[in-house]
């Protein structure tokens, strides 16, 4: 069943719009709630970075796939960003989106003590998608993602931030709000509804 969902999603082709999502402490639970609320026919790719240890097994796609309305896969080198598919950054690598909207993996130095870094993903995706990009920052214990979210807004994209009052750890959303502001700061359920509107055909 999961494989059939992946094949159906891949048939939608390269994403014309994309949603990048970052989080850290508490993010898996928030992501499960977010992904469960997304439209199954979302006309956008979804790309996720979560801070995990470099030696952590890449189990996050399997965990998220149990709750997600969209199929979840591990992002790979030169794989395209595909509409209707959730792509998760592998542990130990920065995940970037090139101008041709394919993924690139990097083992460059850590950013905000993390690899993968949310800022690295957000900045590269902003350059690739401009106004056709939505950035989402969830619960977390660092300021990673704030600079990337600011870049997304500078290039015309949409900035969504989890309400710090709902976040398990409020550091990350508060850092984003302080540096970048947001087009919407709200609980995860409300963010999901806004993403559905962004990715509606």
Q: What is the SS3 assignment for 113?
A: coil
What does the pLDDT read at residue 1?
47
What does the pLDDT read at residue 108?
63
3-state per-residue secondary structure call for 16-31: CCEEEEEECCCHHHHH
Q: What is the SS3 assignment for 9?
A: helix
What does the pLDDT read at residue 119?
96
What does the pLDDT read at residue 193?
98
What does the pLDDT read at residue 69?
96
What does the pLDDT read at residue 10?
56
Is the pLDDT higher at 59 or at 189? Answer: 189
pLDDT, one tens digit per residue, over 87-122 is: 999 988 889 999 999 999 987 677 777 779 999 999
- The whole-angstrom separation of Cα 67 and Cα 71 is 10
C-alpha distances (whole Å) from 63 to each of 66, 186, 189, 190 are: 6, 24, 19, 22
Query: Residue 167's domain spans which residues?
Result: 2-198
What does the pLDDT read at residue 140?
96
What does the pLDDT read at residue 31?
97
What does the pLDDT read at residue 201?
62
pLDDT, one tens digit per residue, over 127-163 is: 999 999 999 999 999 999 999 999 999 999 999 999 9
Catalytic residues: 24, 51, 144
Query: Would you give the distance in Å from CA 123 to the centre of its chain?
Result: 12
The span from the first CA to the last CA of the chain, in angstroms, equals: 25
Tokens linked to 179: 């540096």
pTM of the model: 0.92
CATH of the domain at 128: 3.40.50.180
Domain count, the chain: 1
pLDDT, one tens digit per residue, over 12-63 is: 668 899 999 999 999 999 999 999 999 999 999 999 999 876 555 578 999 9
DSSP, residue by residue, 126-181: HHHHGGGEEEEE-S-SS-TTHHHHHHHHHTT-EEEEE-TTTSSS-HHHHHHHHHT-
């Amino acid at each position: 069943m999961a494989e059939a969902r992946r094949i159906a999603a891949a048939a939608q082709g390269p994403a014309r719009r994309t949603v990048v999502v970052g989080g850290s402490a508490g993010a898996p639970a928030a992501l499960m709630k977010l992904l469960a609320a997304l439209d199954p026919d979302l006309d956008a790719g979804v790309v996720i970075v979560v801070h995990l240890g470099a030696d952590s097994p890449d189990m996050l796609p399997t965990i998220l796939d149990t709750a997600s309305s969209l199929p979840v896969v591990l992002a790979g080198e030169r794989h395209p960003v595909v509409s209707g598919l959730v792509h998760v950054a592998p542990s130990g690598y920065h995940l970037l989106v090139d101008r041709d909207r394919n993924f690139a993996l990097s083992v460059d130095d850590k950013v905000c003590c993390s690899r993968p870094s949310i800022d690295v993903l957000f900045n590269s995706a902003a350059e690739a998608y401009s106004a056709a990009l939505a950035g989402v920052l969830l619960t977390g214990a660092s300021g990673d993602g704030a600079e990337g979210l600011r870049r997304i807004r500078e290039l015309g994209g949409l900035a969504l931030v989890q309400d710090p009052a709902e976040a398990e750890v409020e550091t990350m959303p508060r850092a984003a709000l302080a540096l970048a502001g947001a087009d919407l700061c709200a609980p995860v359920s409300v963010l999901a509804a806004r993403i559905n509107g962004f990715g509606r055909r």
